[in-house]
Structure 1
Amino acid sequence: MSVRIFRILAVALLGIAAASCQKEPSASGLNNDNLVYTAYDEGTDFASFNTYFIPDSILLIGNTDKAEYWKDADAQQLIATVVDNLDARNYTRVEDKAAAQLGLQLSYVSRVTYYVGYNYPYWWGYYPYYWGPGYWGDWLGWYYPYPVLYGYRTGSLLVEMVNLEGDADAGSKQLPVVWDCFLGGLLTADDELNLQRTVDGLNQAFVQSPYLAQ
């Protein structure tokens, strides 16, 4: 597992030890900082992928027991930022997810903390209405190819890249998450600044993930 961490708007350094799990650092002291965290499966050959599918909405993770989706102009700008970065790296977006090799999911934690671990059958083990494997096709579940445990707090944005071709070599019907990105410390009292920080964070996530280039 390879992890690189950058703070865009601060000089302070943040250390995270590479162990059997990774957690988001304490949110205290991050009010003025933008944290960009990326991880990927070192066994994945990203050059072997050409096409991807991304939904037109962002899942809102909150305190409700129903799925909520963020679809306004701000959400579209964030989705477009991911699309622009992938297109710039010679990936091709397709409208039919059945024809895509990769799937992208964006989630925004709007209120509380949720955890996701590699040993759970679903990414968000405690959220009842997250997009299930059936959204992508006839799959039993998904998993991270590396041990991971994340804690997401209010204002966090998560991007996860799934290999929709599954783990063919192992004969598995599960979908591996081959890359993910976590943005923290996004919230201020200025909505326009929050959006810009999030866009900047997404761009930085791709900058610090050179292995995604074709």
Structure 2
Amino acid sequence: MKFKFTLIALAFGLLVLSSCAPGLPEDVTTLDVVYTNFNPNFDFGQGTTFAIPENVVIISDIPIQPGQQPPFIDFVAGRSILGAIRTNMLQRGFTQVNQFADPDFILLPSVVEDNSLLFEYDWWFWDWWIPNLGAGLGWTYPGYQPAIVTSVSTESLLIQFVNMKATTNDKLEVDWVAIVNGALTGSQTSNTERAVAGVNQAFVQSPYIQK
């Protein structure tokens, strides 16, 4: 069975900036936008353990077959992003385990190779890493609607916080999402700094993620 989902809307609304206007940003990093949204009815403190994958995957138009690993972003940038997610979760009182240890939560980081976060991809996109991910099992966003991102920079980062202990109509609950606009645009060094800053800001904006 083929599963598809659409992550719907937030227009980041970045204005076209004139290079001659006074007082405007001179560096693209000053235009970074971090968006977060969550299930207001979910108690994040009910879980204790989390798992994160070994790599940050790339979502593109390249088809992925069941069991096949998707492409990954640059190793250095990926490790920095995963390290930032790990550090923030540990600081909030959670314990990291591997994906085979029945974690309460998993956090799935991905990067989109397009200027729109209108996602539609198959359920097996993560079955190479999530144990026993059943055919047709997808995601649901209880209590909220993720934003429609109609205009974001290429290489924006998406993080999905998945509750592995709850399913609704054969769908796993995603109780928090974060989007870092254009996190990986620029040099490798800039990638690392901007992505880590964006992940940290996403957690600052989300004090409810707490054991």
**Which TM-score bucket, shorter chain as reference?**
0.7 to 0.9
SS in 1 for 2:36: strand
Note the alpha carbon deviations across 1:62-100, whole angstroms, 9 max, x for none: 342342123612211110110000001110111134510
* Rounded Cα–Cα distance in structure 1 between residues aligned with 2:195 and 2:129: 29
Tell me the equivalent position of 2:107.
Answer: 104
Note the alpha carbon deviations across 1:27-46, whole angstroms, 9 max, x for none: 55494411011111011011
1:134–1:174 Cα change, 3 Å: farther
Higher Cα Rg, which structure: 2
More relative contact order, 1 or 2 (CA 8 Å, 6+ apart): 2
Is the Cα contact below 8 Å between 2:12 and 2:33 reproduced in 1?
no
- Matching of residue 160 in structure 1 with residue 160 in structure 2: yes
1:52–1:71 Cα change, 3 Å: farther
* Unmatched tracts of structure 1, length 5 or more: 1-20, 116-123
What is the TM-score normalised by the length of structure 2?
A: 0.75
Tell me the equivalent position of 2:195.
Answer: 198
CA RMSD of aligned residues (A): 2.7
Q: CA deviation at 1:188?
A: 5.1
Is the Cα contact below 8 Å between 1:183 and 1:198 reproduced in 2?
yes
Between Structure 1 and Structure 2, how many residues are aligned?
183
Note the alpha carbon deviations across 1:141-199, whole angstroms, 9 max, x for none: 221112235335412000000000114xx6x4321100110000435543312320111
* Unmatched tracts of structure 2, length 5 or more: 1-7, 18-27, 65-69
* Rounded Cα–Cα distance in structure 2 between residues aligned with 1:177 and 1:89: 19
1:29–1:141 Cα change, 3 Å: same
Equivalent position amino acid for 2:164 in 1? L
What is the TM-score normalised by the length of structure 1?
A: 0.74
